[in-house]
Structure 1
């Protein structure tokens, strides 16, 4: 069974979010278990990202990956670390999401 590129991209995003969340918990790589999660998470993320790039242009992939990652990391930071974004941060997140939507809906470099 062939896995669709956007499934690989979703897995890459989730793995990157887990790795980034564990990066804070690793306390500068001084805690072993979170440090292992960081390395494994980023390894999985980049592997899945490389599979995605076989069929979707790099600009589109990176926009979705980074935009979704930023939003999800913000939600994790709110839930786990009580880091609540202020109004300018929310506006910035909105602009990032808007940019990803514009790229996906209106860009001619989109490949489906």
Structure 2
């Protein structure tokens, strides 16, 4: 079986899915206490790096996605599939799991 080299430029989401680069998690609390890796929570904010064409309806029309590449978004905590490319973490999830665009 041949190995496939994945990078952000080679991943193209299908349907209504988006590919999000996860923001860094907090290293310390507001009180100044440094958190170990086991105590850090999974971030729920990230930047969209790739967008699928949209959801196809039964009649053949495509509903385009409301977010674009470069948007910072807030998404559901346990949504999507976690993917690690090199040292960067990404999430592949459906548009319905995006809660808000963060400005």
- Taking structure 1 as the reference length, what is the TM-score of the superposition? 0.24
Write 1 or 2 for the structure with the bigger share of strand: 2
The structure carrying a bigger helix percent of its residues is 1
